Amino acid sequence: MQARWGSHGHYEIIALAPSSPQELFDLTIRAFNLSEKYRTPVLVMTDAEVGHMTEKVIIPPPEEIEIYPRRKATVPPEEYLPFQPGEDLVPPMACAGEGYRFHVTGLTHDERGYPVINAEAQERLIRRLIEKIRKNKDDIIEVEEDGLEDAEVVVCSYGIAARAALWPIELARREGIKVGYLRLITVWPFPEERIRELARRVKAFVVPEINYGQIALEVERCAAGRAEVILVPHAGGDIHDPERVLEAIRRAAQ
């Protein structure tokens, strides 16, 4: 929530949540690529438990790593406007040392980067920053799904909490409970459409989180009363007790 709403004014953010050391490596690369593609900061939000894990991480040769190429300016320096967007609302970005001049400010600004403090400039700039992310959600949002085809209960989580839920899901399936798994690899933008779609045909969502209710509120908002949302909170210090997640799955299936 701090990543999403940690500033005054409105904006969209991209935030990724790895659940393993391998994914921490892979998503860091993806974060750089998304940052270049949409010219925006991208956050990689990892749990302390993931950082403390000892697991195998495969690091491919550099030539096998896909890197999104920077879209450089195609006009001469005297014609360059660093914040003039293309059709996809993302401006090309010149590299330092190539003769192009930048003026960067945190204030509302025009296409040159110079501060312009009026309602018209505010609307034009903020609308572009929002829409360049919202219009590309299908490209940005990534989730992992399993067993959702006939699920009556969906465990929706992210990071280490999602990984800790795998064993309770397996135990619940052995008991005959139709439970599916939805892991948010991209937390922001939030996969609202997928949650709404599932809410129309499942009984409940179970949301394990290492807090006392944050993403559970987003799931509840998108479910809009069509499906129950059961939070499995945890204050931290270690991962979830599997039995607590299993109990929540059983309650949701009743």
Q: How large is the angle between the packed helices 192-199 and 215-223, nearest 10 degrees?
A: 60
- Mean pLDDT of the region 82-102: 90
Helix (H, G, I), strand (E, B) or coil at 9: coil
pLDDT by residue (tens digit) across 26-43? Answer: 999 999 999 999 999 999
Length of the chain: 254
pLDDT given at position 237: 86
pLDDT given at position 96: 83
Mean pLDDT of the chain: 94
pLDDT given at position 185: 98
Q: Tell which wins on pLDDT, 122 or 221.
A: 221
- Phi/psi at 188 (nearest 5 deg)? -125, 130
- Please state the pTM of the whole predicted model: 0.92
pLDDT given at position 102: 84
216: nearest Cα among 194, 233, 241: 233
pLDDT by residue (tens digit) across 64-81? Answer: 999 999 989 899 999 999
pLDDT by residue (tens digit) across 139-197? Answer: 999 999 999 999 999 999 999 999 999 999 999 999 999 999 999 999 999 999 999 99
Kindly report the CA angle at 185 between 134 and 152, in degrees rounded to 5? 100
Per-residue burial over 235-248, b = 16 or more CB atoms within 10 Å of its CB, e = otherwise: eeeebbebeebbbb
Q: Considering the domain delimited by 142-253, tell me its CATH architecture.
A: 3-Layer(aba) Sandwich (3.40)
The DSSP call for residue 79 is G
Per-residue three-class SS string for 206-223? EEEECCCCCHHHHHHHHH
Instruction: Give the list of residues 6+ apart from residue 225 with CB closer than 8 angstroms, or none.
Output: none
The domain limits of the chain are: 142-253
